[in-house]
Chains A and B, each alone.
Chain A
Amino acid sequence: MSGDHHGSSAISERVRHVEALLEARGLVDEGEIDRSIDDFLAGGSPVNGARITARAWVDPGFRDRLLADANAAIRELGLSMAGGLQEQRLKVVANTEDEHNVVVCTLCSCYPIALLGPSPSWYKSEAYRSRVVRDPRGVLAEFGLELPAGTRISVWDASAESRYMVVPRRPEGTDGRPEEALAALVTRNGLIGTAAV
């Protein structure tokens, strides 16, 4: 299934064959392929989502702007959702004492790669995509996140044009910590909503 990896040499050979054919026809060149892979690996990281989160924790004005218009707000930090094949609309949702948010793409794998890095296989798996919308509380418990029965859970389903990111709750006892130290507390799963911080 989608979360699996079939590492057979047969597909490796087929991909090499098609790539060579396309090179021979002038549709791709080897340098372009290598650059594209390097750009993808360098292009996004959960460090970016963590910076956004830490800023939202320390700056209520930024938090308001982020929740109102995330595409504009992240440009204040030099970040953008326009680095891929098309600009994506970003909506950022913030966890509170009463509400927890979690992100999925039920149809495929839409994900804010610029802010979170390459997506984990479980995010792309049919298991996660099918189940988190039906039983979010149960799925979050499998990730080790047991939410109080009174906490409302909102599940955000990404699409081809729209991406979502979660701002986790700021941990207790972190008053006065510098922004960089706060950012270091934020995990990728926290930004998806499958973990607390």
Chain B
Amino acid sequence: MSRINDVGGMVGFPAIAEEPDEPAFHADWEAHVLALNAALIRRGVYNLDEFRDAIERMEPAAYLSSSYYEKWFTAITTLLVEKGVATPEELAVPGTDPGG
């Protein structure tokens, strides 16, 4: 059974867009997401396979509409809740919807 990340051979995606002189990160938050993930794995909060799994079991529509590092951030917050580190309410910016 394949999940939404298993796109090899799937038809319907658009042409490939190359970005000349592309930077490693397009915004500071992307770099912070990468570093937060590495820190949490080093601390043993979760491991690399659990992280990949948390991306790959994203709801398909959310997976396809999220940018690369948005997927990473979704996986991090999913795992922080599942591992009992924080509640969805604590992870949400005050005044915003914890589901968002």
Taking a contact as CB atoms under 8 Å apart, the answer to whether B77 and A18 are in contact is yes
Taking a contact as CB atoms under 8 Å apart, the answer to whether B67 and A36 are in contact is no
Taking a contact as CB atoms under 8 Å apart, the answer to whether B36 and A134 are in contact is no
Residues of A within 8 A of B13 (CB): 1, 125-127, 130-131
Q: Which residue of B lies closest to A44 (CB)?
A: B24
Q: How distant is the Cα of A189 from the Cα of B93 in the complex, in angstroms? A: 40
Q: Which residue of A lies closest to B9 (CB)?
A: A134
Q: Which residue of A lies closest to B73 (CB)?
A: A15
Q: Which residue of A lies closest to B10 (CB)?
A: A130
Residues of B within 8 A of A19 (CB): 32, 36
> Which 10 pairs across A and B sit closest by C-beta, in order of nearness?
A106-B8, A36-B35, A118-B24, A5-B26, A127-B13, A130-B7, A15-B29, A12-B29, A28-B39, A130-B10
Q: A2 on the interface (CB 8 Å rule)?
A: yes
How would residues 106 to 137 of chain A score, 1 for a CB under 8 Å from any chain B CB and 0 otherwise? 11110000000110111011111111011000
Which residues of chain A from 1 to 54 have a CB within 8 Å of any chain B CB?
1-7, 11-19, 21-22, 25, 27-28, 32-34, 36-37, 40-41
Q: A73 on the interface (CB 8 Å rule)?
A: no
Residue of B26, B52, B70 with most chain A CB atoms under a 10 A cut-off: B70
Residues of B within 8 A of A3 (CB): 17, 67-68
Taking a contact as CB atoms under 8 Å apart, the answer to whether B45 and A27 are in contact is yes
Complex partner residue of A40 from B8, B11, B34, B76, CB under 8 angstroms? B34
6 cross-chain CB contacts under 8 A:
A1-B66, A12-B28, A14-B96, A15-B33, A40-B31, A108-B56
Taking a contact as CB atoms under 8 Å apart, the answer to whether B19 and A121 are in contact is yes
A-B pair number, CB within 8 angstroms: 164
Q: How distant is the Cα of A126 from the Cα of B67 in the complex, in angstroms? A: 11
Residue of A25, A27, A142 with most chain B CB atoms under a 10 A cut-off: A27
Which residues of chain B from 1 to 50 have a CB within 8 Å of any chain A CB?
5-19, 22, 24, 26-36, 38-43, 45, 48-49
Q: A160 on the interface (CB 8 Å rule)?
A: yes
With A107-B56, A127-B15 known to touch, is A6 a contact of B36 (CB < 8 Å)?
no
Which residues does B use to contact A, with CB under 8 Å? 5-19, 22, 24, 26-36, 38-43, 45, 48-49, 52, 55-56, 64-68, 70-71, 73, 76-77, 80, 85-86, 90-93, 96
Taking a contact as CB atoms under 8 Å apart, the answer to whether B85 and A122 are in contact is no
Shortest Cβ distance from residue A67 to the other chain B in the assembled complex, whole angstroms = 25
Taking a contact as CB atoms under 8 Å apart, the answer to whether A106 and B16 are in contact is no
With A13-B93, A16-B29, A32-B39 known to touch, is A157 a contact of B19 (CB < 8 Å)?
no
Q: A16-B29, A157-B8 are in contact. List 20 more A-B contacts (CB 8 A).
A: A2-B71, A4-B67, A12-B27, A14-B73, A18-B80, A21-B90, A22-B39, A25-B85, A28-B36, A28-B40, A28-B43, A40-B31, A108-B55, A108-B56, A120-B18, A130-B7, A130-B12, A134-B9, A143-B16, A160-B49
